[in-house]
Structure 1
């Protein structure tokens, strides 16, 4: 049979279909009605409260993200004390939320932090301010904290701190026959505080000396306790503060010490500046206290911002450095490859520059992989105050607290092959890409971490120098340290490593 009659017949049928469709418009497809929060799955208030307060939930909030997604899907609701929160654990939906946040993103209420500032009459800083006040502060600080050229200028200051860190590690290891440095998180806490103080004040406060001052030790303890109390005070209705006052009392005492510590160093540095100006001497330096003072901001605002920046710069460095060396000790082959790459790039330089350390691909990949496995902030949040927000098939009313579950997305097996494994090379394959919102440890957009570039530079400088001087090994081969939530994601137990001189 000839093929042409068949083709002619099909052509006729096709023409008839087109004519009918043109003559008779296609019906408009009706959009499926969006669901409400009432339709959203999630644990009962009693069940979630039990998980939080009686099942180690406060320290395992990151694990509850994984459990929630497995049980309820990528979006679910839960009551965190008096607060209704919608959890989002899918990168596509997280992007959807962040693209609706508007000109002045609201990270979250951080209610207990704001309650403290109102209680004491302190100004909000970049972490707690909202709206136009936040926008002004962000624009002012971004000039010195986000531009690569400006950040690179801090390398000399930070390298001096790293030099002291290397001497400090040598001292710590020589006190042990195994060349052991115990409790790395605490040691890097001191390093982080010394580094951020140098950036903010261009002042050394002696955290890496043989004998650390009681003032500094108390400051470190205050930060640690404040973060522990943050989740508890946020979960407690305010009327309980009078019935069970101890958490709020400890929370306030910690913040009092943190603000007093920062104010003391700010005032000391400002006095030095004023003396130089009075003598018509030039005032030079990169420290941010002077930069802020030159913007004609009230001292109350400077106190609030420097205090919050001081706070933010400590745990970020401590956690990232501790987890990085922990994983490198567990994976000696990756550590050896990174050491070779460092030697090739840095050569015989005793002190590498910012340009040197930012050109080591495996170094960047290692840090990126560590932050995927152990994001410093396991769950971020947003509050859209003035409009409904669509999240997938749900319509969320204004002022609802939306928790972005970064820990769950960064360990999603649908996105990352072997998601619980430390595999830095996954970030080096040019032919492989991941959803850009699957791992965003520094946040995204306007509300992202303003100190990101300084923190990355400090970590790169420290890791290059440490791995040039030492090979790191586990105290007990095969030992595992799990993370826990303390507002931030921190090691559940001490990380102890051997530092073997190269």
Structure 2
């Protein structure tokens, strides 16, 4: 009995010694490593218990307590939160190549065809080729000009439908969100596949309905955090059935997008429609496939259609909705923007995309909207491919690096009176540097900012030029944020609208 007790004590002593020794090594290593400040965490889940609510606001509160660079742990994954322009500059100047990778999440594996899309692909040859194709076939100046007629047609259809739904002589209550969303989806899908799924010119209503269901399900599941990305055993047991739902969505989208590709491939094989080649993004990708079949596979094409839908639709529509909400709460700004349109465009024609460079105050309104309500409040996460230093703190390879653009845009140390809507702050300013980053920075910044600017600018200008606007009542329009990757308004915008008398004759001829 005594011998047994001595042996057990020895084992306990050895385990205790090993544990204490390990803790001393970890403490010494972390002291030496110069890790960023961090709040206390819990075993296994780390800081995940703190993330209950709107993430950009939670992370801003943590930064206000612990500093502009905060170290967190989401489950077993280390995370760094960046909330200062100087740290952002260091990330995307000194460490741009090092931080060019993306973290691996389950959605990237299944919805983005095993991380082979421009949004999820690791930094390397595939990503560079996809970026080149995107820039050349979608976002180059030449391509943007070639699709200007599509954008103008969709905005005119939107204005025409709104004009038909209201009265000329008195205000009509209108719901704006669904109307605005239709513009972005139609423009993108016409560019991608020559398809129109919203409005009065839909060719295939069954296909349009399937598309709407798919996009709704896609945004819902992407807005839902997946704990399995951070706590491995939750991924093994498929916590809340996330993987199962992701696989089902991926299957449906794969089938839908494959039909689009096969339809355009069939048209390309027809000599009668040979002149259609190069007209759409799918056409461009199929042209590349003909010369590099093993490289530009159908899966590569489908994955990048998914990326375009995620990044190119909701972002523009939420910005327009936020801008209109802000203008309704600030009628003096609305009057000033309309005066600019009256001066440069007049009342004899509709504003055109080519007019946008002559409307600097309108651009100030858009910039101020993006400052207060960026469609990507948290930039798409980065992941260093090797150990690096940010703000004097060591950041280990594999750490998830998140830039809180929303916090930087509202920082009183960076902006004067940051919570006020003042478009004038952007007048006579050529460059805002790293304190204004609605589209990200560095080599992996959003390539579609030029397209988004044109869609938002033309739509907003048309709404201001053609209609009178006011709030439903005396109460200000609510500006609470809802859940979602693109920070939508919590409540869809409703407003009172009527035709401007000066524009009535133009609108009747649409």
Task: Tell me if both proteins adopt one fold, taking TM over 0.5 as the criterion.
Answer: yes
Residue in structure 2 matched with residue 223 of structure 1 by the alignment:
218
Give the one of 268, 274, 278 matched to 2:269: 274
TM-score by length of 2: 0.82
Residue in structure 1 matched with residue 419 of structure 2 by the alignment:
420
When residues 326 and 285 of structure 1 are mapped into structure 2, their CA distance, relative to the original with a 3 A threshold, is: farther
Give the one of 497, 500, 503 matched to 1:499: 497
Q: Distance in 2 between matches of 1:151 and 1:98?
A: 27
- SS of residue paired to 2:342: helix
User: What do the CA deviations read for 1:459-502 (whole angstroms, capped 9, x no partner)?
Assistant: 11111221122122222332322113422211122221222221
Does residue 180 of the first structure (1) align with residue 173 of the second (2)? yes
8 Å contact kept, 2:368–2:422: yes
Tell me by how many angstroms 1:367 deviates. Answer: 0.9
When residues 238 and 194 of structure 1 are mapped into structure 2, their CA distance, relative to the original with a 3 A threshold, is: farther
User: What do the CA deviations read for 1:424-450 (whole angstroms, capped 9, x no partner)?
Assistant: 1100034x974x111211111221111
Tell me by how many angstroms 1:104 deviates. Answer: 7.5
Residue in structure 2 matched with residue 384 of structure 1 by the alignment:
384
- SS of residue paired to 1:462: helix
- SS of residue paired to 2:191: helix
Residue in structure 2 matched with residue 265 of structure 1 by the alignment:
260
Q: What is the correspondence of 1:91-170 to structure 2 with a 5 Å cutoff?
A: 91-103=85-97, 106-117=100-111, 124-130=116-122, 131-170=124-163
Does residue 458 of the first structure (1) align with residue 451 of the second (2)? no
- SS of residue paired to 1:382: coil
Does residue 256 of the first structure (1) align with residue 248 of the second (2)? no
User: What do the CA deviations read for 1:239-287 (whole angstroms, capped 9, x no partner)?
Assistant: 4452534233233333333343333333323322222xx3474235642
Q: What is the correspondence of 1:194-233 to structure 2 with a 5 Å cutoff?
A: 194-207=186-199, 213-232=208-227
When residues 87 and 475 of structure 1 are mapped into structure 2, their CA distance, relative to the original with a 3 A threshold, is: same
Q: Distance in 1 between matches of 2:104 and 2:173?
A: 39
User: What do the CA deviations read for 1:271-311 (whole angstroms, capped 9, x no partner)?
Assistant: 22222xx3474235642221222223322211211221122
8 Å contact kept, 1:241–1:248: no
TM-score by length of 1: 0.83
8 Å contact kept, 1:91–1:437: yes
When residues 232 and 340 of structure 1 are mapped into structure 2, their CA distance, relative to the original with a 3 A threshold, is: farther
Tell me by how many angstroms 1:91 deviates. Answer: 0.5
Deviates more, 1:352-361 or 1:238-247: 238-247
Deviates more, 1:491-500 or 1:97-106: 97-106
Q: Distance in 1 between matches of 2:40 and 2:378?
A: 18
8 Å contact kept, 2:93–2:442: no
Tell me by how many angstroms 1:312 deviates. Answer: 1.5
Tell me by how many angstroms 1:411 deviates. Answer: 0.5
Does residue 484 of the first structure (1) align with residue 482 of the second (2)? yes
8 Å contact kept, 2:228–2:239: no
The unaligned stretches of length 5 or more in structure 1 are 1-32
Residue in structure 2 matched with residue 84 of structure 1 by the alignment:
78
The unaligned stretches of length 5 or more in structure 2 are 1-29, 290-295, 501-510
